[in-house]
Amino acid sequence: MPGPMRDAGSRTRGFSAAELALYEAQGFFAPLTLMEPAAMAAHRAALEMAEARLGPLHYKTKPYLICGSANELARDPTLLDAVEALIGPDILLWDSAYVIKEPHSRGKVSWHQDLTYWGLDSDKLVTAWIAISDATPENGCMMMLPGSHKSGRQAHRDTYSDDNILHRGQTVDKEIREDDIVHASLIAGQASLHHGWTLHASQPNRSDRRRIGLTLQYAATSVRQTVIDNETATLVRGEDRFHHFEEEPRFVGDFNPGMLAYREELERRKHAVYDADSPT
C-alpha cells in the first residue's frame, strides 16, 4: 500500500487532499520525489568526501551544520512544501542524521515510535527520510505499520542490543503481522515522511551495496523540549513566535572548525535527552 508516485521534477506545492488523507490514514507517505537519481549522486559524492575527511557520519546529529549537501537537502523546497502541508507554515529543523547501513552489516532497527524518547511536548512534528542511495527490502529500507500512529504512545522497553542501531535499542512489545507491514522502498532522490507515533523498523543490509539515507525532523515552532532547557533548532520556513529553542547559527561552509566543535556540543545535549527516563 505505498503512496502515490510523483514524477521526478514535480514541484507541486504541498499535498493534494487525497495525499493528505492518505498520510492521515496510514501515518506516512512515500514516495515523494525530490530529484532524479543522477542529481542525488552529487549528494552521495559530497557525503563520501565528508566521510573521508571526518570519519563515519552515521547517526552524528545535525550534519546540516557542517556539510553543505545536508544543509541543501534540508531546505529542498518540494520537501518543505510537503512538511508545511502537514505541520503548518512555521517550521523548525529540529534534528537530522545520516543513517547508513554498510553491505552485509548486522545493524537493524526494532519496531518503535520516534517521539517516545525525544522529550517533546507535542506530536506536531514529521520525520523525512531522504534516500541518497536506493533503499530496498534487501538492503534494509524502512518498514511501516499503517495506522499505528492513531493509538498514540505505546509502551517501549530498552534492549541495548549490539545489533540495534537505536541509541537504547528501544522496542515495543507488540506482535507485528508480516501481512500488515509496508516496505517504504525508495530510489535515490525520493523521500518518505512519517508521523512521530507511527511504528516503524528496518532489517539489516543483506546486499552488496551501501544503504544511505538522511533523516530530518521538522517541528512546528510551537513545540517545546521538556527534558533540557538549552536545546537548539534552525528555522527553515516561516516565523518563530515562540522561541522555545536556541537559534542555531547558519551554515558557513563545509567542515568549519567552529561549527564542528559546536555540533559536538549539540550531540552531547541530544544524548542527555535520549538517556533521560521516558514515560511509557
3-state secondary structure 1-66: CCCCCCCCCCCCCCCCHHHHHHHHHHCEEEEEECCCHHHHHHHHHHHHHHHHHHCCCECCCCHHHC
- Residue 41 CB-half CA count within 13 A: 4
Q: Which residues contact 188 (CB under 8 A, 6 or more apart)?
A: 37, 40, 41, 44, 131, 132, 133, 134
Rg (CA), the chain: 17
Tens-digit pLDDT profile for residues 90-102: 999 999 999 999 9
pLDDT band at 165 (very low <50, low <70, confident <90, very high): confident
Record the pTM.
0.91
Amino acid symbol at 190: Q
Cα 263 versus chain centre, distance:
18
Tens-digit pLDDT profile for residues 22-33: 999 999 999 999
CATH class belonging to 27-274: mainly beta
Domains in the chain: boundaries: 27-274
pLDDT for the residue 152? 74
pLDDT at residue 279 tops 60: no
- Alpha-carbon gap, residue 101 to 207, rounded angstroms: 10
Tens-digit pLDDT profile for residues 132-149: 999 999 999 999 999 999
Tens-digit pLDDT profile for residues 190-204: 999 999 999 999 999
Helix (H) or strand (E) holding 81: helix 77-87
Percent of the chain at pLDDT > 70 equals 92
CA nearest neighbour of 192 among 219, 216, 157: 216
pLDDT at residue 271 tops 80: yes
Tens-digit pLDDT profile for residues 216-250: 999 999 999 999 999 999 999 999 999 999 999 99
Tens-digit pLDDT profile for residues 38-89: 999 999 999 999 999 999 999 999 999 999 999 999 999 999 999 999 999 9
Unique residue bearing C-alpha cell 545489533: 163
pLDDT for the residue 175? 80
pLDDT at residue 1 tops 90: no
pLDDT for the residue 6? 40
